[in-house]
Amino acid sequence: MRILLVEDDEILAESTARALRSRNWVVDCSARGEPVPLSLREDRYDLLILDIGLTGIDGFETLRRVRAQGTQIPVLLLTARDAVEDRVRGLEIGADDYLVKPFALSELIARAQALVRRSQTRQGNELRLGLLRMDLEARRAWLGSEPLALSAREWEVLCYILPRAGKVIAKEQIASSSNGWDHSTSDNAIEVFVSRLRSKLEPAGVHVRTVRGFGYLLEELPGFQGNDAV
Which whole number is the average pLDDT over 52-75?
91
What's the mean pLDDT in 174-179?
Answer: 70
- Band of residue 228 on the pLDDT scale cut at 50, 70, 90: very low
pLDDT exceeds 80 at position 142: yes
Helix axes 10-21, 105-121, angle to 10 degrees: 60
- Return the axis-axis angle of helices 152-161 and 186-201, rounded to nearest 10°: 80
Most confident region among 24-33, 38-47, 167-176 by mean pLDDT: 24-33
DSSP lists the bridge partners of residue 6 as 30, 50
DSSP string of 106-151? HHHHHHHHHHHHHHHHEETTEEEETTEEEETTTTEEEEBTEE----
How many Cα atoms sit within 13 Å of 16 on the Cβ side? 29
Cα-atom radius of gyration of the chain, to the nearest Å? Answer: 20
Contact yes or no for 36/66 (Cβ under 8 A)? yes
Decide: 119 and 74 in contact? Cβ < 8 Å: yes
> Counting Cβ atoms within 10 Å, is residue 190 exposed (0-12), middle (13-18) or buried (19+)?
buried
Q: Say if CB 41 and CB 65 are below 8 A apart.
A: no
pLDDT above 90 covers what percent of the chain?
43
What pLDDT score was predicted for residue 202? 92
Three-state SS for 44? Answer: coil
Q: What is the pTM of this model?
A: 0.56
Q: Work out the average pLDDT over 82-106.
A: 87
How far apart, in whole angstroms, are the C-alpha atoms of residue 196 and residue 155? 11
Name all domains of the chain by residue range, CATH numbers in brackets.
Answer: 2-122 (3.40.50.2300), 125-220 (1.10.10.10)
